[in-house]
Amino acid sequence: MRRNGFTLTEMLATIAIVALLAAFLFPVFRQAKDQAQETHCLSNHRQIAYATTLYLSDYDDRFMPARYAPGEAPNSGTDRTWVQLLLPYLREFRVFRCPGDHSARPKDEASFDRDLVPGDTFSRFYTASQRSNSAYNYLYLSPVEWLGGRWTVTPRTLGGIEDTSRMILALDSVWDRDEAGRPKGGGNLLAVPPCRYQVLDGIRFDTFPVSTSGAAVWAPSEGWDLDPKSPLRYGGAWPWHGGRLNVSQVDGSARSLALSALSSGCRLGAGWEMSIADGSVYLWDAQ
């Protein structure tokens, strides 16, 4: 009687072919997934830029404060972050989360806040907004300076920006890094620029739009941390997409950049001591 089936040789050959196909196709699938996540993230940044445009039209062309109560011990009853201020124009908090960020973050951030305000539907996003993957270029758009014995927010006007197509609005970010330098904790709602001062005709200028040159500003750090494992190694920015990161720009556009582009035109040094060498390619400001 004839039996239908595979011989051992045929089975081994089939397994080898399947394994070979998998070796070729899995990287292709992974690349396609990564590209889809990058595209999704770019879409998020465009929505944030568009929401900012709507906010500007409602608030006399002034940018969002980074937060209402910086430098204190605020809670959702006394404070609002720039992320929360844009929520009425977006209605979806997930826009502020990068699909490429799979790091562990506080599990209660999207559903529970110890400082919930009764009747305020947006207060529950206060804790979550701290871990936004979109970090605000606030030191150039809405700096917080020590003025009159308190931290004061001074939003900049859209009309005061010379080239809106070059200037960063927000960018992909990270909250923290573990001992191996890997990202953890989600994102950070604020980004720190690499440089602050520029020398023109032998005169040193403060490029931050503050009331007094060299004024104390509220910031997680002065410039980029030189520790390669610090979450502020790039001012809080993080390349979630194969060594690249997405940014939204003041003109409403969004694009993907190499991490090195963030320091273009800037001589990196500790504590903002080094100056901007070429303001025409410096992406954080566009005076």
Q: Which pLDDT tens digit goes with each residue over 45-85?
A: 999 999 999 999 999 999 999 999 887 778 787 889 999 99
Query: What is the pLDDT at residue 109?
Result: 47
How many C-beta atoms surround the C-beta of residue 192 within 10 A? Answer: 25
C-alpha closest to that of 190 among 143, 244, 249? 143
Q: Is a pLDDT exceeding 50 seen at residue 111?
A: no
47-74 burial string, b = 16+ CB within 10 Å, else e?
bbbbbbeebbeeeeebbbbbbeebeeeb
Report the Cα 228 to chain-centroid distance in Å: 18
pLDDT of 117 reads 61
Helix (H, G, I), strand (E, B) or coil at 198: strand
The pLDDT-based confidence of 112 (bands split at 50, 70, 90) is: very low
Residue 284 lies inside a defined structural domain of this protein: no
Per-residue pLDDT band for 256 (boundaries 50, 70, 90) equals very high
- Mean pLDDT estimate for the chain: 86
How far is the C-alpha of 135 from the C-alpha of 59, rounded, in Å? 21
Tokens of 68: 């209402």
pLDDT at 269 over 90: no
**128 is a domain residue:** yes
Q: Which residue type, as a one-letter code, is found at position 6?
A: F
Is the pLDDT at 20 greater than 60? The verdict is yes
How far apart (Å, rounded) are the C-alpha atoms in residues 285 and 36?
A: 30
Structural domain of 94:
8-276
Q: Is residue 148 part of a domain?
A: yes
Q: Which residue has the higher pLDDT, 110 or 132?
A: 132
The number of domains in the chain is: 1
Q: Is residue 269 part of a domain?
A: yes
For residues 204-224, average pLDDT? 93
pLDDT-above-70 percentage for the chain: 86
Residue 3 lies in a domain: no
pLDDT band at 110 (very low <50, low <70, confident <90, very high): very low
d(CA 48, CA 283): 18
281 inside domain = no
Helix (H) or strand (E) holding 254: strand 254-258
Cβ(194)–Cβ(140) below 8 Å: no
Does 44 reside within a domain? yes
Residue 104 within any structural domain of the chain: yes
Strands 144-147 and 150-153: antiparallel
pLDDT higher than threshold 90 for residue 114:
no
Contact 75, 84 (CB under 8 A): no
Radius of gyration of the chain (CA): 23
Collect all residues with Cβ–Cβ distance below 8 Å to 11 and sequence separation of at least 6: none
- Among 14-18, 140-144, 202-206, 229-233, where is mean pLDDT lowest? 14-18
- The sign of the torsion formed by the CA atoms of 271, 207, 173, 34 equals negative
For residue 113, count CB atoms less than 10 angstroms from its CB and return exposed for 0-12, middle for 13-18, buried for 19 or more.
Answer: middle
Q: Is the pLDDT of residue 42 over 80?
A: yes
User: In this predicted structure, which of 12-16, 83-87, 131-135, 201-205 has the lowest mean pLDDT?
Assistant: 12-16
Which positions ≥6 away from 267 have C-beta within 8 Å?
A: 195, 274, 275, 276, 277
